Structure 1
């Protein structure tokens, strides 16, 4: 287990908690494109859906950690940051004031450093208003609406170049796990399930996009946000994508999650059968079984933390441009703890992760088997990604339908599929390709 605390160059030395000052100012309503107009820089921090969310620029503080205590260490650091900060936030809404963007490794054994990043500038939008937050670590820096707008204007003028899509020189190559190796791992997974060790495993694979010219991250994010507007488009330190699955959202004492398990590729669907998705998902025993395992796992973990919970008996079919999913939205009122507080979003992210939908059932045993069977380090794939504010509000999705930028011309894509006793290796491989389609399309491959 390791951890690193740091601030932006020229502010606080490593190993200290920087003393931050922050101001939030309400802004005029945005255009119909919403936050899409602000996704102009490749290094931006992004969390956006339906034109709402937050976009961060720059960095004034940063935390990194690996190991089993990565969530606890991040929470302690963020609590210390929040307690020490001078925050001027007249709006007092989820996401206003001082916030941090975060991405966490899927596994405690991963070499990927889980991280929280406090941006210098945040532009935000929700259903009622738009705002800008300006944060500094320099005690002499001017903190005002004028200074914030000047800083933002300079950032927006220096936009990142675009990448020529579909030029033909870009290609997708095998990653750590070949197609044949993946089919073999599915077969082994089915054997493990038939032995009774687990009832479900979620097996992942990777592929590498090799580009002829440097990736234009901002362009990819805009493509994802436009095509997959029902998903949460995210970007944190090279981890990019558009996830359909919300691990947990917290607003005060109210929490909710979107659970997905059960997938159907739209590319192979008949065009003259309007009931196809309903029949193949809602009426399919394998798909319903896989989905119910994920729901049961979440509600079992949430139960002790909630004073009331709404978990629907029937899932719905979520339609995305590439696939259909069985989906359920679980909502809960959080129980008050002995100290009078309620769990924050980082507390719940730690409790819920990993879900059965991205690991298996039971999750602890499935995780152990995955480390032996999968043959790769997932890094942040299928880990929590999102943001937190100083009041414990926040949103963390599951880092799906995305990839990790490993070099200016290389992006590693990931996808995973739920394996149960009835799984077919060829079908699971095809499903993994369908789940990589959003990133392949956005990259022009």
Structure 2
């Protein structure tokens, strides 16, 4: 299966069980990666376009991209598998020149999966990627071997102007009602945990420049992963799955508290209280178990710490557990690619609930909105199946001058609906601050 490529890429949409016919594709397409002179400038400052930005950055390292060499969309329970097959077919036809040889060099695909089976998943292969890894800067370009891609003209970054806010599909009061209903169902014994979310719409005076939002998110939350794929932008603290060679890792976050930003003493007090909270520790344990059970099936040496640590961010503190393991060499293949493992983990109990299927059913019942690609895997992968997928949190969908933010909380039997609503509002602060400058 294939897409019409450079210079005007075609998007292919697949139903849950599609029939796809092969099409011809030009054979002499190249992906050329070159090392660039050392520089410490922010990669986002080099992105020439205001929309269609691709990003996956943390602490100044990672990848940004622009231009569409090829794109693909799919929905249904096998969306990730369809994307993987398309990417394998596409990358196999590329003539690759990569003298840099670091994670993210060479041809890559940015991927943002849908949360539910009915939500659309997106895959994009950019014409140009800029990367920084292990102190090395590089650029990858994809195009016909006989024609260099035209240099992009830098469009100045613009501010969104005045911002107004309005309720979206689920208002704060609607959210409190949904949380109350979820608590009742948990206490009735139907499930142990459910993650419920709501949304908020911001309307900007001007068309929103994605670089403006991303740069401010990256500066305010440098240890998070600042991501952008097909208009979904955010800064998430949760790495669902990283694969480098045969090494895999996952950072699980669940259990949250916040301070008034009054200083380290207050933050330390918050962390101490969080580590002593039976509610948050139980919530975190469900999330850790849901990840460990999947990765333990593919890694015999999976390392799972016995207790979480506190992870303080600018406005929240989370319970965090870092899980690591190694894939056996004989199992290396499509089923253990970064995308396949991320899809198998989704939705973890951190963003869905426990048990998984019961929680997903209750989310569909209590949330009268589509999550889209919120709280689903987002990241990148190379042709060898290596890559990084975070969970799309602290994020928003940008379309023109409209920005739809989403945030959710893990609901347990002893949750307080008012407190959970407050926590969801706090989780929207990163995007609100970034918009307001």
TM-score (norm 1): 0.90
Partner of 1:433: 425
CA distance in 2, matches of 1:175, 1:203: 15
1:415-434 CA deviation, whole Å, 9 max, x = no partner? 01000001000000000001
- Given that residues 99 and 388 in structure 1 are in contact (C-alpha distance below 8 angstroms), is that contact kept between their aligned partners in structure 2? yes
- Given that residues 334 and 342 in structure 1 are in contact (C-alpha distance below 8 angstroms), is that contact kept between their aligned partners in structure 2? no
- Which of 411-420 and 115-124 deviates more? 115-124
User: Which aligned pairs between 1:145-184 and structure 2 lie closer than 5 A?
Assistant: 151=150, 154-155=151-152, 157-163=153-159, 169-184=162-177
1:53 and 2:62 are equivalent in the alignment: yes
1:218-274 CA deviation, whole Å, 9 max, x = no partner? 111000000000100011110001011011011010011111001112237787546
CA distance in 2, matches of 1:240, 1:74: 21
RMSD, aligned α-carbons: 2.2
Structure 1 residues 232, 52: CA separation in 2 closer, same or farther (over 3 Å shift)?
same
Partner of 1:41, secondary structure, is coil
Partner of 2:415, secondary structure, is coil
- Given that residues 259 and 267 in structure 2 are in contact (C-alpha distance below 8 angstroms), is that contact kept between their aligned partners in structure 1? no
Partner of 1:266, secondary structure, is coil
CA distance in 2, matches of 1:133, 1:65: 26
- Which of 319-328 and 263-272 deviates more? 263-272
Which of 129, 132, 136 is the equivalent residue of 2:139?
Answer: 132
Partner of 2:111: 102
1:343-371 CA deviation, whole Å, 9 max, x = no partner? 11111111111111000011121111111
- Given that residues 258 and 270 in structure 2 are in contact (C-alpha distance below 8 angstroms), is that contact kept between their aligned partners in structure 1? no
- Given that residues 40 and 218 in structure 1 are in contact (C-alpha distance below 8 angstroms), is that contact kept between their aligned partners in structure 2? no
1:194-230 CA deviation, whole Å, 9 max, x = no partner? 1111100000100000112221211110000000001
1:308-337 CA deviation, whole Å, 9 max, x = no partner? 111111211111111111111111101344
User: Which aligned pairs between 1:283-302 and structure 2 lie closer than 5 A?
Assistant: 283-302=276-295
Partner of 2:428, secondary structure, is helix
CA distance in 2, matches of 1:72, 1:351: 11
Partner of 2:102: 93
Which of 331, 334, 357 is the equivalent residue of 1:364?
Answer: 357
User: Which aligned pairs between 1:285-364 and structure 2 lie closer than 5 A?
Assistant: 285-337=278-330, 343-364=336-357
Q: What displacement does 1:275 show?
A: 3.5
Partner of 1:116: 123
Q: Structure 2: which 5+ runs fail to align?
A: 13-21
Q: What displacement does 1:158 show?
A: 1.9
CA distance in 2, matches of 1:101, 1:174: 31
CA distance in 1, matches of 2:49, 2:320: 33
CA distance in 2, matches of 1:91, 1:273: 45
Partner of 1:60, secondary structure, is strand
1:70 and 2:66 are equivalent in the alignment: no
Partner of 2:401: 409
Structure 1 residues 161, 432: CA separation in 2 closer, same or farther (over 3 Å shift)?
same
Q: What displacement does 1:387 show?
A: 0.6
Partner of 2:93: 84
Runs of 4+ in 1 over 3 A off after TM superposition: 3-20, 268-275, 336-342
Partner of 1:305, secondary structure, is coil
- Given that residues 306 and 334 in structure 1 are in contact (C-alpha distance below 8 angstroms), is that contact kept between their aligned partners in structure 2? yes
Aligned residues: 425
Partner of 2:16: none
User: Which aligned pairs between 1:153-302 and structure 2 lie closer than 5 A?
Assistant: 154-155=151-152, 157-163=153-159, 169-267=162-260, 273=266, 275-302=268-295
CA distance in 2, matches of 1:320, 1:281: 14
Partner of 1:37: 45
Partner of 1:7, secondary structure, is coil
Q: What displacement does 1:4 show?
A: 8.6
Q: Structure 1: which 5+ runs fail to align?
A: none
Partner of 2:17: none
CA distance in 2, matches of 1:428, 1:176: 18
